[in-house]
Amino acid sequence: MIHLSDADFDRAVEDALHAIPAELRRYLDNVRIEIQPLPDADVLAEYDETDDLLGLYVGVPLEEKGPERAGSLLPDRVLIFRDNLCAACDSREELIDEIRITVLHEIGHHFGLDEDRLAELGYE
């Protein structure tokens, strides 16, 4: 297990987001990134996930949003679970890389990518 300060963890999340090409980042205006210590029991139950969950996309993928839903939706959310990420890694470098992978994986869901495609891209 490895730990980063809150500021360093937040910076790693921001760095991952800045790695997304600008032409795609513009589609993230209505996506809120939330860093939480752990997933709560309600989230785990609602999404049928295990307690070692690293991240979660909560929202409607872009391809499913039509003009009739534009502007009327609450922001989509990407939840990043700090304690689980720290527990899954043995070095600072591994943790930084896992944060990047997790952020890009969850953002991939916002763009409509499924688990198989994300794995093909190396974001599993």
Residue appearing with tokens 């987001």 = 17
**Residue 14 is part of a domain; what is its CATH number?**
3.30.2010.20
pLDDT in tens, 37-64: 999 999 999 999 999 999 999 998 988 8
Between 123 and 6, residue with greater pLDDT: 6
Would you say residue 82 lies in a domain? yes
Domain count, the chain: 1
pLDDT in tens, 85-117: 999 999 999 999 999 999 999 999 999 999 999
User: In terms of residue numbers, what domain contains 54?
Assistant: 6-120
Contacts 24+ apart (CB under 8 A), 85-90: 85/54, 86/1, 86/2, 86/3, 86/4, 87/1, 87/52, 88/52, 88/54, 89/1, 89/2, 90/1, 90/2
The strand ranges marked E within the chain are: 31-36, 55-58, 76-81
Would you say residue 22 lies in a domain? yes
Would you say residue 63 lies in a domain? yes
Would you say residue 1 lies in a domain? no
